[in-house]
Amino acid sequence: MTATLTVTAGVLDHLVRAAAATASDIDAGRLPATTHLRAVVASGLLDAEIDAALAGRAASDVGVSAEVLAALAGECVPTAFALWAHRVVTDYLARGVRTPATDAALARLRRADAVGATGMAQALKALAGIGELGIDATPAADGGFVLTGFVSWISNLVADAVVVLPARLPDGRGIVVWLPLATPGLVTRPVTGLLALDATASGTLRLDGVHVPADQVLSTDLAGFVRAVKPTFLVLQTSFAAGLVRRSWSAAEDALDRGENAVFGADAAALGAEVADFLARWRAAASDLAAVPIRDLLRLRLDAARLATRVTRLEATLAGGRAYQAASAANRRFREAAFLPVQSPSEGHLLWELSSLA
């Protein structure tokens, strides 16, 4: 991962500085979480991995995408989160059935003329034995499908969004489709007042007799599609948690020698060892996904959420009263970390799935 990024370090540093400069405005909802998406996409940092998917090769090395997400998350988690959703939707279209319509939508995503919004969390839950897909699909006369149902949480619900969703056929089989958010019958309802993530354009999505043409069907084998995309989904999701952990730990280390903070030294040293171990496992997984069992990726994602909560709490403790000012970086990171245990797959989902694989 490090060697690959050496050539593009200057580009990434510029993107990170830009994210840092707007972090407060994005945190306050004055700017959208997609503010920097076009610049990141234009940098070309994500292209090689998508090219591999288009060529039909397994995306075993997603190290560049992982580090880009982590670096951005170190300054602004909503920015990294919005980019993660866009990045995985791009991956879905690159891996799906190739049609002229899908190729055109993928090209728009790769130019950031459209924004990716993933509704695939419900598929991960259903296939793990937790809940239902929530969307029913009925075959249409033209070879497409008519979809009816509900998505309880989806982000990047902006005007030019391309949404990827799973659905269940009458015979129980699952499919994966994409559609523009402007498709007739799609109804969004914003969810506001979110802790640290109010800028992510999140909400619910209702489908009322939505027609999906045959050339917008990515797969008629939902289980197989999820197996193929799940490693990338998990490790890139872990990446913005890794960036938050890394940045918060650095701030905590800097504060250890201030006044009475020295009394936290032994506990901080133990936590620092956990951080180092976690970051090493994350880098190894991102660089060679094919070598990592799915159980280990689930555990890595669970560890990321738990570790982010502990590290940001330590940072806030060491920062003292400053951390209780809502506009402070320590406070923002503490609030950003609170999202990770509830983001799908949630802590409960991860524990359930890990227990089923035991």
Where residue 183 sits, what CATH number does that domain have?
2.40.110.10
Residues 349 and 253 in one domain: yes
Which residue in the block uniquely carries the two structure tokens 């979480």?
A: 33
Measured in degrees and rounded to the nearest 5, phi and psi for residue 192 equal -120, 175
> Among 149-153, 193-197, 216-220, where is mean pLDDT lowest?
193-197
Domain end call among 222, 245, 278: 222
pTM of the model: 0.94
Interatomic CA distance for residues 100 and 89, integer angstroms: 17
In sequence order, the 6+-apart residues with CB closer than 8 A to the CB of 265 are 256
Residues 206 and 241 in one domain: no
Instruction: Write down the pLDDT at residue 65.
Output: 94
Mean pLDDT of 41-57: 85
Domain end call among 82, 115, 148: 115
Where residue 260 sits, what CATH number does that domain have?
1.20.140.10
SS3 label, residue 225: helix
Instruction: Write down the pLDDT at residue 338.
Output: 94
Domain end call among 172, 194, 222: 222
Residue-number span of the structural domain to which 167 is assigned:
116-222
Residues 134 and 238 in one domain: no
Residues 9 and 108 in one domain: yes
Confidence tier at 3 by pLDDT (50, 70, 90): very low
Greater pLDDT, 321 or 122:
122
Instruction: Write down the pLDDT at residue 263.
Output: 67
Interatomic CA distance for residues 79 and 31, integer angstroms: 10
Confidence tier at 10 by pLDDT (50, 70, 90): confident
pLDDT in tens, 229-260: 999 999 999 999 999 999 999 998 887 777 77
Residues 68 and 21 in one domain: yes
Instruction: Write down the pLDDT at residue 169.
Output: 97
pLDDT in tens, 178-188: 999 999 999 99
pLDDT in tens, 273-297: 999 999 999 999 999 999 999 999 9
Residues 171 and 53 in one domain: no
Q: Residue type for 15, please?
A: L
Q: Where are the alpha helices (DSSP H) in the chain?
A: 2-6, 9-27, 37-42, 47-54, 63-73, 77-95, 100-110, 121-127, 222-255, 265-287, 294-319, 329-337, 347-356
- Are 176 and 92 spatial neighbours (Cβ–Cβ below 8 Å)? yes
Residues 141 and 207 in one domain: yes
pLDDT in tens, 312-350: 999 988 877 677 777 789 999 999 999 999 999 999 999
Residues 110 and 156 in one domain: no
Instruction: Write down the pLDDT at residue 328.
Output: 85
Residues 48 and 70 in one domain: yes
In the chain, how many domains are there? Answer: 3
Residues 121 and 135 in one domain: yes
Interatomic CA distance for residues 21 and 245, integer angstroms: 20
Residues 70 and 110 in one domain: yes
Residues 14 and 101 in one domain: yes
DSSP structure class, residue 99: -
pLDDT in tens, 150-167: 999 999 999 999 999 999
Nearest to 228 by CA among 81, 86, 65, 92: 92
Residue 159 has a CB neighbour count (10 Å cut-off) of: 10
- Cross-strand pairs, 148: 136
